[in-house]
């Protein structure tokens, strides 16, 4: 592949995935790590991206806003959010992750009596009028990119609660790299939740399959349910069967 064409494709891949590791770029573009380093350096010098440990990410000023991401694939996200809400029962203690897909659950669970632990700032704001929602914030630093709160120092808070269900988001998923995330600040929180919780529900639209973020917060076989809008490739169906992962697909409004 010609260098300029490859760099253009790397640029498009980074825009789509926001943050990726060098190893992922090597695998996707079938070139050496030294070649990827040189290509990445050229993109960094153009100003759109910056290097991070082990990878590259979009400059913060160039990232899509939470609102822009929220309206992208909105139809699919509503379908997924409504499907996921069916698994929330009265008196549940749940964790609701940050993300533009998980927030779509709100309208379908807002009238239930629940305890919700969350770092999702929009969910917290929307919950204020609903006395039936006992909302516990993880607290911490405001992450404007994800409209969430991150706190390295307060993860013990989560270990004190018997969370029976967690509804998680991801930048991308793959069999090789597992469930990935673009924000290093959120990765430890997500990892802690997966370790702690009884049932893990992953909410991802079809574009997240075979995509990879900067950091892996759990392996794919740590997930109990995957809720999406389109049936994935055969290799995923086989993997889900082998690892007893339940796939829930909703392709039409309900």
Domain with residue 24: its CATH number is 1.10.10.10
- By residue count, the chain amounts to 254
Domain ranges, residue 97: 68-249
Inside any domain, residue 254: no
pLDDT per position as a tens digit, 227-253: 999 999 999 999 999 999 999 998 654
End residue of a domain, out of 35, 62, 89? 62
Q: For 82-100, what is the mean pLDDT? A: 95
Q: What is the pLDDT of residue 67?
A: 44
pLDDT per position as a tens digit, 175-188: 988 998 877 778 88
Residues 164 and 76 in one domain: yes
Q: What is the pLDDT of residue 120?
A: 93
93/112 Cα distance (integer angstroms): 11
pTM of the entire predicted model: 0.73
Per-residue pLDDT band for 140 (boundaries 50, 70, 90) equals confident
The region of weakest confidence among 49-58, 118-127, 194-203 is 49-58
Residues 76 and 48 in one domain: no
Q: What is the average pLDDT value for the chain, to the nearest integer?
A: 85
Residues 92 and 120 in one domain: yes
Domain with residue 169: its CATH number is 3.40.50.1360
**DSSP conformational letter for 64:** P
End residue of a domain, out of 62, 78, 96? 62
End residue of a domain, out of 12, 35, 62? 62
The region of weakest confidence among 154-158, 200-204, 206-210, 216-220 is 154-158
Counting the structural domains of the chain, the total is: 2
Residues 103 and 168 in one domain: yes
Q: What is the pLDDT of residue 62?
A: 43
Q: At what angle do helices 33-46 and 22-29 cross, to 10 degrees?
A: 110
**DSSP conformational letter for 65:** P
Residues 45 and 80 in one domain: no
Strands 165-168 and 199-203: what pairing? parallel
Residues 152 and 189 in one domain: yes
Inside any domain, residue 144: yes
- Return the SS3 of 60: helix
Residues 146 and 185 in one domain: yes
Residues 57 and 130 in one domain: no
98 or 53, which is more confident: 98
For residue 142, pLDDT beyond 90? no
């Amino acid at each position: 592949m010609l260098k300029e064409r490859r760099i253009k494709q790397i640029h498009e891949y980074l825009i789509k995935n926001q943050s990726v590791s060098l190893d992922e770029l090597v695998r996707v573009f079938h070139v050496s790590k030294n070649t990827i380093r040189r290509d990445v350096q050229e993109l960094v010098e153009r100003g759109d991206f910056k290097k991070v440990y082990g990878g590259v990410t979009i400059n913060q000023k160039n990232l899509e806003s939470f609102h822009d991401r929220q309206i992208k694939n909105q139809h699919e996200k509503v379908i997924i959010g409504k499907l996921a809400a069916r698994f929330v029962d009265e008196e549940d203690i749940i964790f609701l992750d940050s993300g533009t897909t998980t927030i779509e659950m709100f309208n379908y669970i807002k009238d239930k009596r629940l305890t919700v632990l969350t770092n999702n700032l929009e969910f917290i704001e929307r919950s204020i009028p609903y006395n039936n929602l006992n909302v516990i914030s993880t607290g911490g630093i405001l992450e404007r990119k994800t409209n969430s709160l991150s706190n390295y120092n307060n993860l013990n808070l989560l270990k004190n609660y018997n969370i029976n269900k967690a509804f998680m988001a991801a930048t991308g998923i793959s069999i090789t790299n597992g469930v990935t995330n673009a924000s290093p600040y959120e990765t430890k929180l997500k990892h802690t939740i997966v370790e702690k919780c009884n049932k893990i529900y992953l909410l991802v639209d079809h574009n997240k399959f075979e995509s990879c973020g900067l950091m892996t917060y759990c392996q794919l076989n740590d997930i109990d349910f995957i809720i999406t809008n389109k049936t994935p490739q055969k290799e995923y169906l086989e993997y889900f069967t082998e690892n007893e992962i339940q796939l829930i697909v909703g392709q039409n409004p309900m």
